[in-house]
Structure 1
Amino acid sequence: MTDVRGAAHALRQSSERVSHGRSGYAMLAVLFAALVLAVAAITQIDRMPDALVVSTLLGATLLALFVGIGFYLLQPNQAVVITLFGDYRGTDRTTGLRWTWPWMSKKKLSVRANNMISERIKVNDLRGNPIEMAAQVVWRVTDTAQALFDVDDYKAFVNVQIEAAVRTIGSRYPYDDFEHQEVTLRGNHEQVGSELRAELIARLTVAGITVDECGFTHLAYAQEIAGAMLRRQQAQAVVAARTTLVEGAVGMVEMALAQLSAKNVVELDDERRAAMVSNLMVVLCGERDTQPIVNAGSLYQ
């Protein structure tokens, strides 16, 4: 990430500044006046000298063309980058009908939020397991000068950097940790998502783009190991369930023996105590219902 930030700082040469665009409504009145003058010259063609009519009509037409070429419209969250013979002159973000000199070049740019879902890519996690990942990113242009002049195609640049950032974050953590002692991609969505956003912001600064929100839309083991990992998860779940069951059964047996001894219900020697513990453990830990056997004789028969 340090190299990316250093490169971004080295390439950051452009900076957005406010242009000197004008309101187009005043110039619209000038255009209307030029059209009225042209129509008046045509209607008075029989009463005026030909030279005056031609000069008036030509002047009104040229004025109308001069004014008409300079108009442009801006909607909310749109901007126009204005250049003069390749030299950046500023960015106009004022909405409505706008006007600038006809020899100024105008490039319209959207500064609205863009929502993009990346392609699924295969990444090796921290432990080398192949996993599939895809991310959803909400981004927008914050500096129009950087977006147009510091990168060749800012939209393609965003796509490439999203894939690179997903690969970086995916290789930084394991997919899962069955002992719940590490930060994982599957178990720590908020932390990993925050790191992905920070990584993307650092990479996209050079293009004048910021990231408002991001997260993973797809996260799974690759097909070649998905079956093996599923069996491993199932085995871990079975072991965890058995561990809990045995711990509970041991506690119940201890409680039963303690209460039998405390209330003098029955006195058992070591052999009979071991047999009773074995029977209780079978009853408590067995997966099937047990069938009781009634002892009609003495305890030692």
Structure 2
Amino acid sequence: MNDKRGNPIEISAAIVWRVRDTAQAIYDVDDYERYVAIQAEAALRHLGSLYAYDEGEDLATGETTLRAGMDEVAHALKTELQERICAAGVETLDAKLTHLAYAPEIAQVMLRRQQAEAIISARQKIVHGAVSMVEAALKGLAEREIVELDGERKAAMVSNLLVVLCSDKDTQPIVNTGTLYN
């Protein structure tokens, strides 16, 4: 089936139910067990189409997803299923998702997307931290009057510090024996 964004997903649930009214279960539907199974599949398909599998750029912040909102999704499934099967004299006792995954044909692509989003998020934190550290270093140098930096030297220092702090590889020191000026 497809989630809210149209991504093919695999989803299954465990449904616990019981016959509440035996006469209604026998006379109002032909086969109440088959009826419950059909309604459970329909409710699960409908529920899956209401939620996105996972968070993404196109979702509003805090929007419930199938993966992150398991309790809310389970409650919604139980409620919808109860509405669907009450006509057969049956009641839903519990409903929980037991399996949720991207369909095999897109699983690798979606995994790469999730990894890319994680890398971007980590890089944003690294850059934010590095900028804060550079800002603190410049402020500390200026307050203590350790060195007076003009615009060009300040820019060179900022550039060097950001490279060192943001790089995911070991940096090599370069000793400048000359000057930045001619």
TM-score, normalization by structure 1: 0.56
Aligned to 2:171: 290
CA distance in 2 between partners of 1:233 and 1:244 (Å)? 17
2:13 is aligned with 1:132: no
In the alignment, what sits opposite 1:258? 139
Please give the residue correspondences for 1:74-93 in structure 2 after superposition, counting only pairs within 5 Å: none
**Whole-angstrom distance in 2 between the partners of 1:213 and 1:193:** 8
Question: Secondary structure of the residue that 1:147 maps to in structure 2?
Answer: helix
Output the CA distance in 2 between the equivalents of 1:152 and 1:128: 34
Deviations 1:231-283 (A, max 9, x none): 11111111111111100000000000000000000001111111111110011
Q: 2:34 aligns with which of 138, 146, 156?
A: 156
What does residue 269 of structure 1 align with? Answer: 150
Q: Distance in 1 between matches of 2:50 and 2:30?
A: 30
Letter in 2 for 1:255: A
Distance in 1, matches of 2:32 and 2:38, equals 10
Task: After TM superposition, give the deviation of residue 294 of structure 1 in Å.
Answer: 4.3
Which one has the bigger strand percentage? 1
> How far apart, CA to CA, are the structure 1 residues paired with 2:132 and 2:94?
49
* Higher normalized contact order (CA 8 Å, seq sep 6+, divided by chain length): 2
Q: What corresponds to 1:213 in structure 2?
A: 94
> Partners in 1 of 2:107 and 2:130 — Cα distance?
34
Which digits, 9 at most, give the CA deviation of each residue in 1:173-207, with x for residues without a partner? 11112356222111111111111001110111011
CA-based RMSD of the aligned residues comes to 1.6
The aligned counterpart of 2:51 is: 173
Aligned mates of 1:200, 1:253 — CA distance in 2: 57
Classify the secondary structure of the residue corresponding to 1:250.
Answer: helix
Bigger radius of gyration, 1 or 2?
1
TM-score by length of 2: 0.92
Residue 78 of structure 2 is aligned to residue 197 of structure 1: yes
Query: Which consecutive segments of 4 or more residues in structure 1 shift more than 3 A?
Result: 297-301
- 1:211 and 1:268 map into 2 onto residues whose CA distance is 72
How many residue pairs match? The answer is 178
1:292 Cα offset (Å)? 2.5
| 1:141 pairs with one of 13, 19, 44 | 19
User: Could you list the per-position Cα deviations for residues 44-74 of structure 1 after superposition, in whole angstroms to 9, with x for gaps in the alignment?
Assistant: xxxxxxxxxxxxxxxxxxxxxxxxxxxxxxx
Unaligned runs of 5+ in 1: 1-122
CA–CA distance in structure 2, aligned partners of residues 265 and 140 of structure 1 = 79
Aligned with 2:114 (options 224, 233, 239): 233
Residue 67 of structure 2 is aligned to residue 186 of structure 1: yes
Q: For residue 17 of structure 2, give the secondary structure of its aligned residue in structure 1.
A: strand
For residues 145-176 of structure 1, what are the alpha-carbon distances to aligned partners after superposition, in whole Å with 9 as ceiling and x for unaligned?
A: 11111111111111111101001101111111
Sequence identity (%) = 56
How far apart are 1:300 and its partner, in Å?
Answer: 5.4
Question: Structure 1 or 2: larger helix share?
Answer: 2
SS, match of residue 127 in structure 1: coil
